[in-house]
Amino acid sequence: MQKLEVFGANRLKGYVKISGSKNASLPILAATLLSNKKVILKNLPKVRDIETMLTLLKSLGSKVRVNKNQTIIDNIKQKKKFASYNLVKTMRAGILVLGPLLAKYGSAKVSLPGGCAIGTRPVDIHLKALSKLGVNYKIDQGYVIAKAPKGLRGNKIHFSKISVGATENLIIAASLAKGTTILSNCAIEPEIKDLINFLNKMGSKIIWISKRKIKIIGATEIKDISYSVMFDRIEAGTYLVAAAITEGNLKVQNVIPEIIKTEINILKKLGSKITIKKNEVQIIGNKKIKSMKIKTAPYPGFPTDLQAQIMVLLCKANKSSIIQENIFENRFMHVAELNRMGAAILIKGNKAIVEGKIDFAPAELMATDLRASVSLILAALTAKGKSVINRIYHLDRGYEDIEKKLKKIGAKIRRIN
């Protein structure tokens, strides 16, 4: 089992290039199943979840070739409709192959997904919405067995709650449905807009009617496509927080600052000095960090995927802060480990009361999920001495070359077996 050794405390300086978005790449990869033509994807991040999704596509019959900085997917011989537990168990996004398989073949058998243990995250929203497109389904021995006897047909669908995954699955499925589909109460994350851009370039007709309402006219022709995936805004936010917490001076490159406006504004309020250029954000950390109340919310609110990272920064604030987690009910699992490093964080329901003026002490630590893993690295970067982080396979699911990137900007970190 691999571990990370982190030696604090150095200021992070220089520049870091942000990779392609994991959360945009996964639904786009699932959507390639709609095509019988060649699809070329650029800027896919080299992380384990992407490798798993590519393996899943291969198991369904897709021919996948990675050539330098592009991935070529050919579905001419793609005929299979079974997504096994062994492939779907490690990542939530596996369920996203359900929509395209139903749209293309009218039936599919897909394992219920796994991923990080940060909450229940049920797929019932996906299934209820798909049923309105003409899908009959049952769940048997951990698998969704679904059929659309007359094919998928457009309909009006209102999501009972905002769900990124359900919005993505339905957009993909409706892209090949007969007629017109109207989706309302949709998630509006930038990754969803990237998916829509990809599908429209491939031949779909998807337009935004209003802020959370989408109109989808089923495609009649699928085209060859070459597409470059957007940047990873969670990776960008993580490095911005890393610079803030180490009083660093860092240029975060290959980003669209407008997309991470909420995160930038919060870091400014906390005391960091930020300069914005076209595709770059420069951040200079401040020794004096202000306290704050932060609530996670669907985009354009503060992302739940940055909650653990910002919590580490708030431990350094001038007084206590509050974080309210409104997306997942089990996303404070990093708190116990941070408290072992000297933090004073109290959980009350979906709120974390974070005491300020904390000096983290080095410790041996256990990562519980993807974003928790990186929060422990951030805390360790400020602790004087050596910290060891175990179970870093979570980290490799979502951060490309994290120790190489951190080393380049001045961190003392190494991977050991």
Q: What is the pLDDT of residue 114?
A: 63
- DSSP for 297-333? -STTSB-GGGHHHHHHHHTTBSS-EEEE--S-TT--T
Same domain, 14 and 26: no
Residues 13 and 30 in one domain: no
Domain count, the chain: 2
Q: Do 118 and 236 have their domain in common?
A: no
* Side chain identity, residue 217: I
What integer best gives the mean pLDDT of the chain?
A: 94
> Which tokens sit at 400?
């490309």
| One domain, residues 357 and 218 | no
> What is residue 119's predicted lDDT score, i.e. its pLDDT?
42
- 241 and 176 both lie in a single domain: no
At residue 75, the pLDDT reads: 93
In Å, how far from its chain's centre is CA 99?
Answer: 19
Q: Are residues 13 and 118 both part of a single domain?
A: no
Domain of 61, CATH number, reads 3.65.10.10
Q: Which residues pair with 342 in a beta bridge?
A: none
Same domain membership, residue 335 and residue 324? yes
Clarify whether residues 194 and 247 are in a common domain. no
In whole angstroms, what is the distance from residue 16 CA to residue 241 CA? 13
Are the C-beta atoms of residues 144 and 98 closer than 8 Å to each other? yes
Residues 386 and 257 in one domain: yes
Q: Write out the catalytic residue numbers.
A: 116
Question: What is the DSSP secondary structure assignment for residue 47, as one 8-state letter?
Answer: S
> Domain check: are 247 and 161 in the same one?
no
244 and 203 housed in the same domain: no
Comparing CA positions, the residue from 20, 62, 9, 18 lying closest to residue 45 is 20
Q: For residue 117, what pLDDT is reported? A: 42
H or E stretch including 58? helix 48-59
Q: What is the pLDDT of residues 335-370, one digit of tens each?
A: 999 999 999 999 999 999 999 999 999 999 998 887
Q: Which of 185-189, 220-224, 292-296 has the lowest mean pLDDT?
A: 220-224
Residue pointed to by tokens 């779907």: 88
pLDDT band with cut points at 50, 70 and 90 for residue 116: very low
Q: 300: which 2 tokens?
A: 């354009």
| Domain termination site, one of 211, 228, 245 | 228
Pairing outcome for strands 70-74 and 293-295 = unpaired
Contact criterion met (CB below 8 Å) for 243 and 249: yes
Q: Is the dihedral of CA 249, 251, 257, 262 positive or negative?
A: negative
- E strands in 148-289: 156-158, 180-184, 205-210, 213-217, 225-228, 249-253, 273-277, 280-284
pLDDT at residue 8 tops 60: yes
Distance (Å, whole) CA 406 – CA 273 = 21
Q: Is the pLDDT of residue 133 over 60?
A: yes
215 and 321 in a common domain:
no
226-264 pLDDT, tens digit per residue, is 999 999 999 999 999 999 999 999 999 999 999 999 999
Of 203, 228, 253, the one marking the end of a domain is 228
Q: Where are the alpha helices (DSSP H) in 60-163?
A: 85-88, 98-105, 124-131
Domain of residue 199, residue span: 22-228
**Each residue's pLDDT tens digit, 134-163:** 999 999 988 999 999 999 999 999 999 999
- pLDDT at position 272: 98
Which of 228, 255, 275 is the last residue before a domain boundary? Answer: 228
Q: Note whether 221 and 205 are within 8 A (CB).
A: no
Query: Are the C-beta atoms of 391 and 366 separated by less than 8 Å?
Result: yes
